[in-house]
Structure 1
Amino acid sequence: MQYYKSGFRGGSPDVKPAAPDRRPRDGFAALPDQVDVLIAGCGPAGLCLAAQLAQFPEIDTLIVEPKPGPIEKGQADGVNTRTMEMFQAFGFGEQVKRESYWVNQTAFWAPDAANADHITRIGRVQDVPEGSSEMPHTLLNQARVHELFLEVMKNAPTRLQPSYGWALRDLQIDPDTEDHPVTVTLENTGVNAGELKTIRANFVVGCDGARSNVRRAIGGEMHGDAAHQAWGVMDILANTDFPDIRQKCLVASANEGNMLILPREGGYLFRLYVELDKLNPEERVAERNFTADDMIAAANRILQPYMIDVKELVWWSIYEIGHRLTDRFDNVPAGQDRDPRVFTAGDACHTHSPKAGQGMNVSMQDSFNLGWKLAQVFKGRSAPSLLRSYSAERRAEAKRLIETDHQWARIMSAPPGQSELDGSDMPRFQKQFIENLEFTGGLAVKYEGSALIGPPTHQALAPGFEIGCRFHSAPVVRVADAMQMQLGHLAEADGRWRIFAFAGADSGAGSPLYDLAAWLAEDPHSVLRRYTPADADIDAVIDLRAIFQQSFDVLLDQQVPALLRPKTGPFGLQDHEKIFCVDHKGAGDIFEMRGVDRASGCMVVVRPDQYVAHVLPLEAHQALSAFFDGIFLPAQSG
């Protein structure tokens, strides 16, 4: 972590210097008449987006929420490995690792062949496949995740805080103006209930849930189906003789239904997803009047010969499985050639079962995709047409999520008699779980070729950094201080692009890596000189890092290009943290782990949301320029 660049100051380095002209954000501040971005909803998607935009003082962001304050318990709890990688970029990944339950193993229970009324353990699998991520799969109360995002917002230069007690009721878009064309009507849900407030915005993002008013206002419709199956979920403090209660378990009984057990943070709390009854095609789950006692009784029937003695019911809910996807993620109908002004994210555009643990994760990945694009447009780095890519990228991924979760939910609700798949002795739910591990880890996302995703022409130079997929981190050593670390952890949620330059066998003066650094720093047509404002730090837009094959002690005395030790900030302080080498201390060789060509090296271009945008030879200066020309506008001062 780097700080003091602008001068020494005491206190937590997580608290950024406040922007001098920021708008008041406390609970008594009046709502503004106009904003740049209005976010509706303080769920995971809304708070993730707000935490990104809060870093940019030039963007006036307002986030509203109908509830009177933050949630305190319940709702989603699964944080997959991809989301943990994203949390690291926001600065609280290590905190989540410390507080959360780590899902290391998943156990499978099915009817005992000797006594079908009883269940028995039939298998166990490592929950996160070896080498798939440096981060664990964790479980943590959604309210705590919200709190961590709120802290990031409060500590950001804008000191952004939600405006609670306001619900978005409607919006209209004026097609004849570019100046705050979206007019939003908010309704007070608190002390002055019913009071209306009109605000004009440049952009609106609906993170307002499955019954989204934003989606309705732009004509979006949800399409899909329901499984007609009632499930209950509860967080409980309880005693039990079930031996795997502190491990994630998938349980299938012979006649009483299925259950999912998820241990929770803190060592005592755990969550149960309990299958209840089938519903008639026209029946809604609310009509059955299920209670918490119904769930507890069903759980005890499923667990026979074991039992659960509930001491405290912390939170519970009854739900019906449904899989629905909106026909649009923004306000522009298919086939129209114009830039969007209104977007939806999270449950506002896709809903699915909670048992695959994807709801909160995919919602945050939606807004993480959108946030840096909004910032890039507001900072004048890209044309507004960049925002068209949000719907193109995220709707395709949501469609795949719905299809996979649809299949998984039906397998989880299938009776054990239908458990064999393709003649295998392994029960269907166990086999499907193993096959889905990449998906449930959030690691199956792959964006297709576009202006933001280059062609795979040179993928062979680094097959382990797959173009269109998230940057798969690996261990390195920082040369300046011999610090062992993960290369991917250099990425912050700060809107910057990154170029990781891997040196080839020739890595001295005059080598391709040195020539690349010289071109970037000196050529007026290079991507750094073309897109970095003249009064900004050289790494303010695109951050170059170099990775060598030698050990750090060999590199300490080597002369390196000035761009790899740039002088930045108001004092022109030298940055010593741009140069890395392979980890010779035993954690792994990044060149070997990711298949980087040792002879020629390469550069890996990474987007602000941690996805690999391109892989190119170190000498491919013009190809790099051509790629960024399709995304960036020439730099403006300031």
Structure 2
Amino acid sequence: MQFHHHGYVSGDPRVQPAAGVGIERPAELPEHVDVLIVGTGPAGMLAAAQLSQFPAVTTRIVERRGGRLAIGQADGIQARSVETFQAFGFAERIIAEAFRITEMAFWKPDPKDSSRIVRAARAADDPAGISEFPHLIVNQARVLDYFAEFMANAPTRMAPDFGLEFQGLEVAGDGEYPVSVTLLHTDGPDEGTERIVRAKYVVGADGARSKVRDSIGCTLAGDKANHAWGVMDVVAGTDFPDIRTKCAIQSGSGGSILLIPREGGHLFRMYVDLGEVDPADNGAVRNTTIEQIIAKAGAILHPYVLDVRNVAWHSVYEVGHRLTDRFDDVLPAELGIRTPRVFITGDACHTHSAKAGQGMNVSMQDGFNIGWKLGHVLDGRSPEGLLSTYSAERQVVAKNLIDFDKLWSSLMAKKPEEFENPSELEDFYVRTAEFPAGFMTEYSPSMIVGEATHQGLATGFPVGKRFKSAPVERVCDTNPLQLGHQAAADGRWRIYVFADQAAAGAPSPTTELAAWLANAPESPLAATPDGADADAWFDVKVIYQQDHTGVDITAVPAVFTPEVGPFRLTYLEKVYGTDPTADIFELRGLDRGGVIVIVRPDQYVANVLPLTATAELAAFFAPLVPVRLTGSASGSALTP
């Protein structure tokens, strides 16, 4: 973490200096904003947290509740989300308080007595080691608290505006603030009164009953499985031996439980199978009482005893899988004619069962995706056309999620005798581990994802998939660390230069690339604004094939050791050597002749190029950065 480059910091280094709109930020919601986010759920809070890193962008997030969420319905945190938390600076703290899942147990009817359940199998949660981060269980409310803290500490000093409910919006013309939003005060002295806010862009993160979705003419389409589940967070006395282990439990008498231990040592969640629902039920199953859910759970657990002593939360839901046809306000006839002004995220555009633990996780990636794109457009870094990639990318992800959840939900609802293979459920769990962990997302080629022409140079960094971290050694201080963990959620593109075999500074493709990045008018770094640090928009790192003892840091090209801050201090922490015990070139299939890996601000690999492919590198970024008029890579006059 870099924080003394503007002078000595004696306080909490996570609190960034206020800047831009964060200086004397108005407590009251202003009449005009750049981005208005509706809803403080996971998607909305992550989008707001990302936008809080853009000091020139006025972002406000409104919530109909009068204060923070006290208890959330979501609790599963996949490893991909923990990677994201690392970028926002709170992965270690949330891991410390969360429950960590390392194994899943499968309980089935005892072959000798089908009225009893027995443990039939165990499966490791991450048998292939797809991430260095764990699978966690933690209350959604705590996730939102961490994002709120990040926002409050950001240069913009962002905080939610509570007690404001979205009523409707209109998009009129192409003026500076074309979206007119009507809000209703639900709390405080103005309760019951309406007000109008005008915005450049609106993000609807207001849940499955989204009014923002309705206002742009989107509807959720899909089906119900006509199967109901009761869910409860409880503390209980029990002799069930795996009460602190994630379990799939199938009883001989009919009915299943998905058991998920919660953080804190005693709380656990149970998804309890309530059986098939008559299509003519008209929602009556939702009146199932907590006492009935507990009784059903107790019957499934026989011969074990379940004595529930406290209920933190409970609900009843019917499995449904629905998806909107678009994630923004651009109608099919308008594609290519105009760019979107209103976006929907999370449950507003995709709903499914909770048992795969995907809702909050996929929603947060929606927020990450649209957050950096809005920041880049409003900050003058990219053209408005960038915003059209949001719906194109995230709708495919949501469709894949729903297809996966349909299969998982149907398997969980099956009776033991309906399985052709007795191990079908646990086999599916192990076989598909990469999907629920969040690592199956693969974005297609677009203006921000290149073709995989040179994929063979970096087989372990698939273009379109998330950048998978690996160990390296930081040369300046000899620290062993994870390369991916050095990328903060600050809105910057990453350019990782994996060097050829030559020594640092020796004539080689690496030094030639460094000179081009620093000096060529076509270099993306040339777009960096006058007065900004050389790495303000692009974080360029170099990884040498030698270990730290074999890299002369004084010979490293200057583009990898930029001068930063008002004192023009040389920043040395972008130079890495290879960990001899875990060679990143071997681990990630990197060509020994060197390779460039470009990574988006949301941690997805955008392109893989040879060290000599400066023309391709320039062509990739040309549509994404302002045109350079004068100056050099260290400062330029720009026009968006």
Q: TM-score range by the shorter chain?
A: over 0.9
2:344, 2:220 → 1: CA distance? 12
1:119, 1:615 → 2: CA distance? 52
Q: What's the offset of the Cα at 1:557?
A: 5.7
1:152 alignment partner, SS class = helix
Within a 5 Å distance, the mapping from 1:69-468 to structure 2 comes to 69-175=67-173, 177-191=174-188, 192-336=190-334, 337-420=337-420, 424-426=421-423, 428-468=424-464
* Equivalent position amino acid for 2:356 in 1: A
Q: What's the offset of the Cα at 1:464?
A: 0.3
Q: What's the offset of the Cα at 1:634?
A: 2.1
User: Match for residue 547 of structure 2?
Assistant: 551
* Equivalent position amino acid for 2:72 in 1: G
Q: What's the offset of the Cα at 1:524?
A: 2.3
User: Match for residue 37 of structure 2?
Assistant: 39
2:454 alignment partner, SS class = helix
Q: Deviations over 1:528-575 (max 9, x none)?
A: 11x211321111111110111111112146611111221111110110
TM-score, scaled relative to structure 2: 0.96
User: Quick check: 1:67 aligned with 2:65?
Assistant: yes
The answer to whether the Cα contact below 8 Å between 1:279 and 1:285 also exists between their aligned partners in 2 is no
Q: What's the offset of the Cα at 1:350?
A: 0.4
User: Quick check: 1:483 aligned with 2:483?
Assistant: no
Q: What's the offset of the Cα at 1:158?
A: 1.4
1:597, 1:43 → 2: CA distance? 42
1:457 alignment partner, SS class = coil
Q: What's the offset of the Cα at 1:243?
A: 1.2
- Is 252-261 or 437-446 further displaced after alignment? 252-261
Q: Deviations over 1:137-158 (max 9, x none)?
A: 1111111001001101111111
Unaligned runs of 5+ in 1: none
Within a 5 Å distance, the mapping from 1:440-589 to structure 2 comes to 440-508=436-504, 509-529=506-526, 531-556=527-552, 559-584=555-580, 586=581, 588-589=582-583
* Equivalent position amino acid for 1:339 in 2: T
1:122, 1:230 → 2: CA distance? 25
* Equivalent position amino acid for 1:591 in 2: F
Aligned residues: 627
2:63, 2:33 → 1: CA distance? 16
Match of 2:601 among 608, 615, 634: 608
2:354 alignment partner, SS class = coil
Q: Deviations over 1:465-486 (max 9, x none)?
A: 0000000100111011111111
- Is 12-21 or 82-91 further displaced after alignment? 12-21
The answer to whether the Cα contact below 8 Å between 2:83 and 2:91 also exists between their aligned partners in 1 is yes
The answer to whether the Cα contact below 8 Å between 2:286 and 2:317 also exists between their aligned partners in 1 is no
Q: What's the offset of the Cα at 1:31?
A: 2.4
1:338 alignment partner, SS class = coil
2:214, 2:21 → 1: CA distance? 35
2:7 alignment partner, SS class = coil
1:3, 1:520 → 2: CA distance? 25
The answer to whether the Cα contact below 8 Å between 1:230 and 1:285 also exists between their aligned partners in 2 is no
Q: Deviations over 1:504-542 (max 9, x none)?
A: 22344111111111111122221211x211321111111
1:564, 1:433 → 2: CA distance? 43
1:544, 1:557 → 2: CA distance? 15
1:265, 1:340 → 2: CA distance? 40
2:250, 2:85 → 1: CA distance? 34
2:23, 2:476 → 1: CA distance? 41
TM-score, scaled relative to structure 1: 0.96
The answer to whether the Cα contact below 8 Å between 1:52 and 1:493 also exists between their aligned partners in 2 is yes
Unaligned runs of 5+ in 2: 629-635
Q: What's the offset of the Cα at 1:113?
A: 0.8
The answer to whether the Cα contact below 8 Å between 1:603 and 1:615 also exists between their aligned partners in 2 is yes
1:200, 1:630 → 2: CA distance? 29
Residues 288, 20 of structure 1: CA spacing in aligned structure 2 closer, same or farther, 3 A cutoff? closer
2:284, 2:98 → 1: CA distance? 33
Residues 200, 463 of structure 1: CA spacing in aligned structure 2 closer, same or farther, 3 A cutoff? same
Q: Deviations over 1:598-633 (max 9, x none)?
A: 2x1101000000000000001111110011113222
The answer to whether the Cα contact below 8 Å between 1:182 and 1:341 also exists between their aligned partners in 2 is yes
Q: Deviations over 1:247-281 (max 9, x none)?
A: 11111112231111111111121111111132111
* Equivalent position amino acid for 1:526 in 2: S
The answer to whether the Cα contact below 8 Å between 1:256 and 1:301 also exists between their aligned partners in 2 is no
The answer to whether the Cα contact below 8 Å between 1:447 and 1:468 also exists between their aligned partners in 2 is yes
Q: Deviations over 1:433-478 (max 9, x none)?
A: 2222111000000001111111111100110000000001001110
1:394, 1:555 → 2: CA distance? 42
- Is 221-230 or 552-561 further displaced after alignment? 552-561
User: Quick check: 1:16 aligned with 2:9?
Assistant: no
* Equivalent position amino acid for 2:405 in 1: D
User: Quick check: 1:632 aligned with 2:625?
Assistant: yes
Q: Deviations over 1:294-345 (max 9, x none)?
A: 1111111111111222221111111111100011100001241210000000
Q: What's the offset of the Cα at 1:35?
A: 0.5
2:127, 2:68 → 1: CA distance? 35
User: Match for residue 594 of structure 1?
Assistant: 588
Root-mean-square deviation (CA, aligned residues, Å) is 1.5
* Equivalent position amino acid for 1:611 in 2: Y
The answer to whether the Cα contact below 8 Å between 1:139 and 1:264 also exists between their aligned partners in 2 is yes
* Equivalent position amino acid for 1:634 in 2: V
2:623, 2:165 → 1: CA distance? 38
The answer to whether the Cα contact below 8 Å between 2:22 and 2:158 also exists between their aligned partners in 1 is no
1:448, 1:608 → 2: CA distance? 17
2:356 alignment partner, SS class = coil
User: Match for residue 6 of structure 2?
Assistant: 6
Percent identity of equivalent pairs: 50
User: Match for residue 620 of structure 1?
Assistant: 613
1:317 alignment partner, SS class = strand
2:45, 2:287 → 1: CA distance? 33
2:24, 2:219 → 1: CA distance? 37
1:345, 1:262 → 2: CA distance? 26
Residues 105, 620 of structure 1: CA spacing in aligned structure 2 closer, same or farther, 3 A cutoff? same
Q: What's the offset of the Cα at 1:24?
A: 5.8
- Is 11-20 or 340-349 further displaced after alignment? 11-20
